[in-house]
């Protein structure tokens, strides 16, 4: 696997770790509320739901890291592709159902990483 493909995959994994932290631990803080455009009341009422979302983002990050660390390069690329497709689908769904910018934050970088996997 090339470094050209590994860099965007690693960056997407880091992005999802950051989203995990925002959703699981910072949801009700000023930083978390600002990131998602929430009122204090709404953030307080949805804290448990956000933590659940954050956990799923952590699973996406873990899968991407697994793909980066797997010793068999052909299988590593398949793992990365699977989790990048999961990120893409999640971003499309979030963009359609929640905020359009989610598509650009999640799906577009994942699609770039998929292209890097194929051409890198």
* Of 70, 63, 104, 53, the residue nearest 86 (C-alpha): 63
| pTM of the full structure | 0.93
Angle between helix axes 108-119 and 3-24 (nearest 10 degrees) is 160
Angstrom distance (rounded) from CA 36 to CA 77: 32
- pLDDT (tens, 9 = 90+) of the chain, 120 residues, equals 688 889 999 999 999 999 999 999 999 999 999 999 999 999 999 999 999 999 999 999 999 999 999 999 999 999 999 999 999 999 999 999 999 999 999 999 999 999 999 998
């Amino acid at each position: 696997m090339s470094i050209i493909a590994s860099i965007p995959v690693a960056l997407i994994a880091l992005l999802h770790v950051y989203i995990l932290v925002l959703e699981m631990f910072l949801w009700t803080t000023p930083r978390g509320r600002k990131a998602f455009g929430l009122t204090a009341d709404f953030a307080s009422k949805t804290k448990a739901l956000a933590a659940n979302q954050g956990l799923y983002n952590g699973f996406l990050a873990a899968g991407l890291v697994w793909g980066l660390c797997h010793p068999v390069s052909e299988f590593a690329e398949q793992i990365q592709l699977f989790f990048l497709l999961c990120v893409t689908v999640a971003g499309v769904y979030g963009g359609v159902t929640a905020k359009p910018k989610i598509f650009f934050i999640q799906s577009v970088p994942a699609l770039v990483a998929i292209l890097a996997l194929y051409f890198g």
